[in-house]
Structure formats: structure tokens, C-alpha cells
Amino acid sequence: MIYKVIGLMSGSSLDGLDIAYVQLDEVRGKWEYQILAAECVPYNEDWRKRLISATSLTVSEFLELDTEYGKFLGESVNDFIARHSLDHKVHFIASHGHTVYHSPSTATTGQIGSGAAIAAMTGLPVINDLRATDVALGGQGAPIVPIGDRLLFGNYKYLLNIGGIANLTVQDNSDNAIAFDVCPANQILNELARRTGREMDENGTIASGGALQAGLLKVLEDHPYYTAKAPKSLSNEMAMAIGSWLLQDTSSKVADLLHTACHHVADQVVAAINNNGGSEKAGQVLVTGGGAFNTFLLELLRAKLDQIGVEVVVPEADVVKYKEALVMALIGTLRWREEVNVLSSVTGATRDSVSGALWLG
């Protein structure tokens, strides 16, 4: 079977909306993919502020934001379809939405972006609300990308996505996988970079010129989240709380804070692999997400992982940038087929689930 799907992903780094038009081919349970067109629609400052402050809204304001953001997603898809001449070429849309609240301990998670609004705007079927069933079943609802790691990238032992929050999947030769959020990443790096008037520290240039603040690094690594065992996940608020020691430091240079933050990310990735890679840790780690373009961070990762026999692999740019949107398209396709798309072995739910709400266009 061949499916042509638009996957939508908005991450915690708040750099913009990722849109990927992909072809997914399934033959006897084996999946292959092609990213046929993709782009990132940057958020303007108004949308960034509205998404950041969503949890402080009244009930009516929150519901209206959900609808407005759904219309924004729909308009963005319509513009994307027009730019790439995709009329009548899309089977359906799979939308992650934007996470504004995530509390697995209370069986609650919220990704805004009304599926009904997207369907109404585009006239296409829409699958969204991809985490809710898993959370209702007692799971963390995150990470949900490991089903894509298994079906599309099964030849890698480790898969690391460095977005607003870094997350790691550890695969073995069976159908088992361990996956969890590792630590805050671009959320903190981008916030620090904005102090210099930039949206990000491109290539890690500022960080590379800084000096390590060893005391600050020790405070960061002592956070209790890092001693908790998987399954576990970070909300945006918890990730920012961990990074607050960096963000509240007014005595250090921004370059030093960025330098220290990069070391923290690299150290936590190495610790995560050491603690979860089994007796034979050697293998390849596929690195995607915006952090894969941070040259300084990648140099740190390569140097530290080389010591335990783990090779860093960075794929082609479209996979680096749009892997999560690609996986959302796959998760939506599995939902369309009524097949398992969230793994309980990863999230800790009572069972695997077929997750997602379907809205007909």
C-alpha cells in the first residue's frame, strides 16, 4: 500500500511549524519512506508568545486558542499545498499539534490545534490528538516517535533527536525498545542565544568561544530527573525548570552559559546510553533535530561517545529537520489502518494503543 500524507509537527523549541509531504510504502509489514516536499513555517513573535503563555489563559481563551491555532495549521497546509502543486495528491493530514500541557501523573496531556478546524480549512481528513490514549492508559505519552524508529530506522541501535528537549530511543534485535526524554536542549540554548539578539546559536559558534562553568554543570547534573528510570518524560515546564540555573545566572557570559549547556546535553546523552545501552554499547546513533546542526555540540558528542564505541551518524538534511514530521505522518497512517502506533514498552502504559482522533474533511 502507498500513502501520501502531510505530517505536521510543532516542537518545544518554538522555532516554527514543520510540514512534510511524504510517501509511505508498506509491503508485507516492511515500510519505506520518501520525503517529497518539506518546509518549516516560522512562528512570528505573536504566535510564540501565545503558545508560551497558553497555560495561563482562562478556559474560554484556551478553547479559542485551540481553534485559532487549528485554523493557522489549516491555512499553513493550504499554502504548502499551493506552493508545491499538491492539489488532489494528499490522502490525509497527521497533526501532532503543539504541546501546551503534559502531566502523565494526572493522566492529562494537551496538544492544541483543533482537528476539526484543520479539516474544515483543508477539506482533508485529519488525524490528531496522538498522545491522549496512551496517557489515559497510564503511559507517559512520550516519546511517541519510537514506532517510527522501529519501522523506518530499525538498523540503528540508538536514535537521538535534539529538539527543544533531547530524546533517545535504544533498540535491540527484538521488538523491544527503550525511549525517553533525556534533558532540555534547544529550549535552553535558543533562550540563551536570544540574549545576543539571535534566534539561535548557529553552528554553536557562540558556545564554542565560551568556557565551561564546572560548578554550574554540577548543579545541572544533580537534578533528580536524571536518576529516575524510564519510562519518563519531560514537560516543557519541567525542562525549563531544569535549565533555570542557566537562565537565572546573571554573572556569567552568555558564551560561557551556552558552552556549559552544550556540555550538559552531551554528558546526559552519554549517561543515558551508558545506563540503557546494555552490556554491548557499541553501535551507531542517528542524530536528528535542530541540534544536529550545532557543530560545537556535535563535536562534543562525537568525542564523548567515541570513548564508548558509539558512532555519531547525521543523515541528509531533510531527515535531520523533518524526521518528527515524517514520523507523525507514519503514526497517522497506522491510525488510519487501525494498527498499533504507540508502544507501551516505551511509555509504560498498560498496553500498546491505536491512538488518534479522526476528523473527516
Q: Where in the chain is the domain with CATH 3.30.420.40?
A: 2-139+328-359, 146-318
Between CA 243 and CA 356 the distance in angstroms is: 32
> What is the DSSP pairing of strand 283-288 with strand 310-313?
parallel
Percent with pLDDT over 90 in the chain: 90
Find, among 144, 103, 176, 138, the residue nearest to 349 by Cα. Answer: 138
> Quick one: CATH architecture of 146-318?
2-Layer Sandwich (3.30)
pLDDT at 331: 98
Condensed to tens digits (0 to 9), the pLDDT of residues 265-274 reads 999 999 999 9
Between CA 168 and CA 174 the distance in angstroms is: 17
Query: 13 falls in which pLDDT band (50, 70, 90)?
Result: confident
Residues 57/59/65/68 CA torsion (nearest 10 deg)? -160
pLDDT at 175: 67
Condensed to tens digits (0 to 9), the pLDDT of residues 231-268 reads 899 988 899 999 999 999 989 999 999 999 999 999 99
Give the rounded distance of the alpha carbon of 361 from its chain centre.
27
Condensed to tens digits (0 to 9), the pLDDT of residues 284-309 reads 999 999 999 999 999 999 999 999 99
Find, among 137, 130, 99, 139, the residue nearest to 237 by Cα. Answer: 99
Between CA 285 and CA 310 the distance in angstroms is: 7
Condensed to tens digits (0 to 9), the pLDDT of residues 203-217 reads 999 999 999 999 999
Between CA 290 and CA 287 the distance in angstroms is: 10
Q: Looking at the domain covering 2-139+328-359, what would its CATH class be?
A: alpha beta
pLDDT at 224: 96
Query: 12 falls in which pLDDT band (50, 70, 90)?
Result: confident
Between CA 145 and CA 11 the distance in angstroms is: 13
Query: 198 falls in which pLDDT band (50, 70, 90)?
Result: very high
